Amino acid sequence: MSLPPLTWFRAFDAAARHLSFTLAAEELGFTQSAISQHVRALEERLGTQLFVRGHRSLMLTDAGRLLVPDVAAAMGRLTQATERFQPRISKPKLTVATSASVAQWILSPMLPRFREAHPDVALQIVTTVWPDDFSTTNADIEIRFGSKDVVGQGAELLGPSELHVVAAPALASAHEGALNWTKLQACTLIQPIGISTGWADIARRAKSPDAIEASVFVDTHGLAVDLAVSGVGVALTHRLISQMALKDGRLQCLRVAPIDAEEGYYLARKTTGFTQEQEAFIAWFYESLDALQAA
C-alpha cells in the first residue's frame, strides 16, 4: 500500500495542534482551503473522518485522536533527521524562499550589494516553482508568484504587475514598426503556464485578424526570458523578470501594449527570530527594485 503524500500529514498535524484550518494555513504557508482539501484527501484515503467540522470550531474524532501521536512523532523524527544536515554557522542565517525566476533574474545579479552592506548576515536562498513548495521551506521571507488568494494574507504585491512581449534584438528588429500579427505567428511564441492571460488574449485585445497561440510553454517566467535571450522566439512574460535583460540590452520590447496581469509577484514577511536581518533584506530588496525600474 502506497503512503499518502507527506503534505496531507503535515496539514493534519498542524490542524490537530491548532484545532483550526486557518491557523494551520498560517503556520504552513498554505491557504485555508488548501489545508481543508489536504485533510479531506487524507480522510478519503484512510476511509475515516478525522475532524468534526463546526461553523466556527474544529474537533478531533476518535480516529483523529488515535492518529495524532503517530503523526506527531513521525514529523518530529523527520525534523530531527533534517536538522543534522543544516549548516552550523555563527552568524544569523536568513532563509529566503523565492520563485526561481526572481532568484535568477533579480537576486542573483543584485546580491553582491547586499553582501557588501551586510557581511554579518548569512543567507539561505531556496528556490521554488509551485505554491506548495513554500510549505516545506520554513522561510523568514517568501517571494512567490500567483494570484492574491494563493499567496496568502499580508503578502505585498511587487507592482505594477504587467505582461509584455519581448525578444532578442536580432529578432525584435524584424518586427519594428506596426506589428504584423501574421508575421508574428510564424515565430516561436513562448508563454509561461500559470497565467490567466496568454497570447490568444493579447491578440484579441490588439484586434489581430489572425488567431494567435503559443507554441512553447514553460513553467517559469525566468525560463521564458532565458529562451527569448537565446533567440528561440518571442516571449510573453512578466515585466519584473524581464527588466534586467531589457536594461542591459539582451532583450527588447515589441510594439504590443503591455497588459495588467491577474497574477503577480508578492513578498511576505514570516514570523522569524531574525527580525532585524529580515527588515534589512526587505529594505535592500525594495531599494534595488526601485533602482532597477528607474534605470
- At which residue does the C-alpha cell 536580432 appear? 170
Please, are residues 52 and 58 in contact by the beta-carbon 8 Å criterion?
Answer: yes
Q: How many CA atoms lie within 13 A of 201 on its CB side?
A: 13
DSSP-derived 3-state class of residue 242: helix
227 and 214 co-located in one domain: yes
- Domain limit, last residue, from 59, 83, 107: 83
* Phi, psi dihedral angles at 67 (to 5 degrees): -80, -30
Q: Determine, yes or no, domain membership for 88.
A: no
Last residue of a domain, one of 24, 58, 83: 83
Tell me the per-residue pLDDT of 169-185, one tens digit each, with 9 for 90 and over: 999 888 877 677 778 88
Number of domains in the chain: 3
Give, to the nearest 10 degrees, the angle between helix 6-18 and helix 62-83: 110
| Whether residue 173 sits in one domain with residue 115 | no
1 lies in some domain? no
Length of the chain: 295
Domain co-membership, 279 together with 231: no
166 shares its domain with 255 = yes
256 shares its domain with 275: no
Q: Does 12 reside within a domain?
A: yes
Burial class (CB in 10 A: 0-12, 13-18, 19+), 219: middle
Residues 228 and 250 in one domain: yes
pLDDT by residue (tens digit) across 204-215?
A: 887 777 778 889
Q: Is residue 36 part of a domain?
A: yes
Q: Give the dihedral of Cα atoms 34, 38, 43, 46; nearest 10 deg.
A: 170
Q: How many helices (H) and strands (E) does the chain have?
A: 13, 13
Residue 121 three-state SS: coil
Residue 99 domain-assigned (yes or no): yes
Instruction: Say if 107 falls within a structural domain.
Output: yes
Instruction: Tell me if residue 219 falls in helix, strand or coil.
Output: coil
Residue 226 has a pLDDT of: 96
Main-chain dihedrals φ then ψ at residue 55, nearest 5 degrees: -60, -45
Distance of CA 79 to the CA centre of its chain: 24
Task: Write the pLDDT tens digit of every residue in 213-262.
Answer: 889 999 899 999 999 999 999 999 999 999 999 999 999 998 888 888 88
Q: For residues 201 and 254, state if they share a domain.
A: yes
At 185 the pLDDT is 82
Residue 142 backbone dihedrals phi, psi, to 5 degrees: -120, 135
**CA nearest 166: which of 230, 95, 262, 71?**
230
Q: Are strands 122-128 and 93-99 parallel, antiparallel or unpaired?
A: parallel
Whether residue 187 sits in one domain with residue 247:
yes
- Of 32, 60, 83, which marks where a domain is finished? 83
Q: Answer yes or no: are the C-beta atoms of 213 and 281 closer than 8 Å.
A: no
Q: Is 285 inside any structural domain?
A: yes
Q: What is the pLDDT of residue 133?
A: 60
- Rounded CA-CA distance 114/116 in Å is 5
Q: How far apart are CA 125 and CA 137, in angstroms?
A: 10
Q: For residue 110, what is the domain's CATH number? A: 3.40.190.10
In sequence order, the 6+-apart residues with CB closer than 8 A to the CB of 287 are none
Which domain does 16 fall in, by range? 6-83
Residue 174 has a pLDDT of 83
The CATH number given to whatever domain includes residue 69 is 1.10.10.10
- CA-CA distance, 132 to 123, in Å (whole number)? 22
Grid cell 500579427 — which residue? 181
Q: Please tell me the predicted confidence (pLDDT) of residue 295.
A: 60
205: in domain: yes
Residues of the chain with pLDDT under 70: 1, 86-91, 129-137, 151-153, 178, 295
Q: Do 75 and 217 fall within a single domain?
A: no
**Cβ-contact 96, 281 below 8 angstroms:** yes
Give the per-residue pLDDT at 148: 78
